[in-house]
């Protein structure tokens, strides 16, 4: 199994856990810190995969979009705390 496939599996599992805990945050705020950790793990995996994609000749545009999205994602998450 190559590194990109491993990152994809980690990101998928982390995203499912983060979404589940995010939905659970509405009923109880005890899950907020764990939700932030899994969300950060998803963002970091996305950033690493996007950087790897920029090195691929035909997928550079997709890699740049992924990098921009990975940088905007934490800003979006921190503004949700104010809601």
Domain coordinates in residue numbering, the chain:
3-80
51 Cα distance to chain centroid: 14
Q: Using CA atoms, how far apart are residues 58 and 52, in angstroms rounded to an integer?
A: 12
pTM of the model: 0.82
Tokens encoding 9: 């599996």
pLDDT tens for the 83 residues of the chain, in order: 698 899 899 899 999 998 888 888 777 767 888 888 998 999 999 999 999 999 888 889 999 999 999 999 889 888 887 77
Q: Using CA atoms, how far apart are residues 59 and 18, in angstroms rounded to an integer?
A: 27
């Amino acid at each position: 199994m190559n590194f990109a496939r491993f990152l994809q599996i980690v990101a998928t599992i982390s995203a499912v856990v983060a979404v589940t805990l995010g939905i659970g945050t509405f009923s109880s705020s005890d899950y907020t810190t764990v939700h932030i950790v899994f969300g950060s793990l998803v963002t970091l995996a996305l950033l690493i995969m996007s950087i790897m994609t920029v090195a691929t000749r035909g997928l550079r545009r997709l890699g740049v979009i992924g990098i921009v999205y990975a940088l905007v994602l934490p800003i979006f998450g921190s503004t949700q705390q104010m809601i």
